[in-house]
Amino acid sequence: MSTNNNYIVLARKYRPKNLIDVIGQEDICSVIEGSIKLNRVAHAFLFSGTRGVGKTTLARILAKILNCEEVKEEKIQACHECANCISIENESNMDVVEIDAASRTGVADVREIIENINYKPVSSKKKIFIIDEVHMLSKAAFNALLKTLEEPPPDVTFIFATTETEKIPVTVLSRCQHFALRRVSLESISKHLIQVSKLEGYELDNESSQLIAQCSEGSMRDALSILENVLAKGEKINISVVREVLGISDLSTIIFLFENLCKGDANLSFDCFDKLYRQGVSIDKLSKSLMSLAYNLSLIKSGVKNNYEFFDEESLKKLKEISKNFEMDFIIRFWELMQKYVNELTDVFNEKQCFEMVIMRLCYASLLPTPFEIIRNKNNIKNLKKNGEILKEKTLDQNKNMNLNSNTDGNVLNDNLARKKDVLIESTENNKEVELKKFSDLVGLIEKQSEIRVAYHLKNSFRLVSFSEPKSHKDVGNIELQSINDNHESKKILWSASKSIELITKKRWILSVSNKIGLKSLQELEDEKKNKKIEIIKNEKLIKKILEIIPSSEVISVKSIKKTIQEE
């Protein structure tokens, strides 16, 4: 066994040495390159961004370029061969000072920098101060640096790096040329990981590289660190090895758990979690995976275009099937609850027990009605109350005649009244059967349920092809419609309409899109009727005279006065 301790980790070994090599920050690199070409280099730079996106790397590259004796002007990159480049690379250059502000936060440390500024560079063109995690400096330290930062000597350049820009005083920010580094795209990370693996003598498949990229959260350094752990396994790299290293299970198992949580099946959910837990799955990562599934499910449900690059074909197909069974408000509620529970899991004495309670809470919550369903049911009850108004009045009259001064407990009386009210509503609902004889009846019924959006689309976006009502409760009603707009929204509208009608009529209805040409839409029929009325009224003598007297006037609509009075 070799005991060579000169091994360099991948993040350091493959650290970019030129602006062109920095991955994911092409726009910033081009601006820096342009400013050097035009000799418009600022005296202070601030690189901000999340961990592992290239802040310190850019600072070192910039320091090399500014002090390189033979800069390649075509692509603006250091030669890496001159004395200055080599000494900066070895961290032995006296004119390039790198300071960790996390450990040197006081005024005394800043005063040391200010005193050092007064001396000319020893061997380089510029004296450069790289201050990492600059937000960690104290308020007094920032104040001490202000004057120097505003008017430094011409041969001095400050380069700051930070992950928390909001902690830096505005007075300091305004004195720096600020570059906000983006998270590296998942695609760029994935490609780079495959390239690094080849250079290391390993084959990394696309699925594995994408999973590592996803877990790195846009940090190239984190991605390379994960790859290092995967390579350290000493096995042939595949998705199962990557999942084992990351502490996450097979995606299909997590989707199965997610589906059962949504359905409210506690038994299957517990069995699935127990299996995952025994496999050594991290509860924190499992929680985040469930949140990610809810997020992607909401995208699928809303029809938002996304490449879903981290789902294989089978998993994506399964998610699309799940999305058909749940409304958007349910998915959003699941995500919000999961977000709350993830925060709760950060500091608990028994993580497994706590997550099992999360499973029970999610299963219970999945059986509760969503806000949309509560409003819809409330509207249904209001309609049922109106239908049973006479019977309700009789019930109340009978209760008025009862001796309220008897020994009967008032709460019991109220309970009896509540039960009678429930029976009334239930009996009204069961006895009165809603019948739909034509398509317009269906749209009208949906309008009454305050589902204005669905009703609007049914009137405007669909033409009737065929209408077949169910003859009994066992039969299925079938309505075929031609979609005028022919978009993804059409299927969702029809699905919502079928569920609403099924709830009201207690019969199953299937609304489907047909390739056949249908009749005119309800809105088109309404417009035709309206136009006919307008044409008829235009031929009236009085209206003709009015139109002649007022040339710019026109008939927009016709309403019956009697009907309007009756409605009022």
Q: Using CA atoms, how far apart are residues 227 and 196, in angstroms rounded to an integer? A: 9
CA distances 417 to 131, 379, 395, 410, 466, Å, are 76, 21, 9, 11, 47
CB 161 within 8 A of CB 129: no
10-180 CATH choice from 3.40.50.300, 3.90.550.10, 3.40.50.2300, 1.10.150.130: 3.40.50.300
Residue 496: predicted pLDDT = 80
Handedness of CA 449, 450, 453, 458 (dihedral sign): positive
Residue 33 exposed, middle or buried by CB count within 10 Å (0-12, 13-18, 19+): middle
Residue 286: predicted pLDDT = 87
Residue 56: predicted pLDDT = 93
Domain ranges of the chain: 10-180, 186-246, 251-366, 372-401+409-431, 439-519, 524-567
Q: For strand 476-483 and strand 508-513, is the pairing parallel, antiparallel, or unpaired? A: parallel
Q: Which of 161, 314, 285, 168 is nearest to 217 (CA)?
A: 285
Q: Using CA atoms, how far apart are residues 491 and 512, in angstroms rounded to an integer? A: 8
Q: What is the CATH number of domain 186-246?
A: 1.10.8.60
What are the tokens at 405? Answer: 């001064």
Residue 382: predicted pLDDT = 55
Residue 48: predicted pLDDT = 94
Residue 499: predicted pLDDT = 80
Q: Which of 411, 456, 12, 392 is nearest to 225 (CA)?
A: 12
251-366 is classed CATH 3.40.50.2300: no
- Residue 299 C-alpha from the chain's centroid: 8
pLDDT per residue as tens, the chain (568 positions)? 455 567 889 999 999 999 999 999 999 999 999 999 898 999 999 999 999 999 999 999 999 999 998 887 777 888 889 999 999 988 889 999 998 888 888 888 888 888 888 888 888 899 999 999 999 998 888 988 888 888 888 899 999 999 999 999 999 999 999 999 999 998 899 999 999 999 998 889 888 888 888 888 889 999 999 999 998 887 788 888 887 787 766 778 888 899 889 888 888 899 989 888 887 788 888 888 899 889 988 888 887 766 655 666 777 888 888 888 888 888 888 898 888 888 877 777 788 888 899 899 888 887 777 666 666 666 655 554 555 454 444 444 444 443 444 444 444 334 433 443 443 344 344 445 566 778 888 888 887 776 777 787 888 888 888 888 887 767 788 888 888 865 556 777 788 888 878 877 777 888 888 888 888 888 888 888 888 888 888 888 787 777 777 777 777 777 766 544 444 4
Q: At 39, which amino acid appears?
A: N
Token pair 């109220």 is at which residue?
Answer: 414
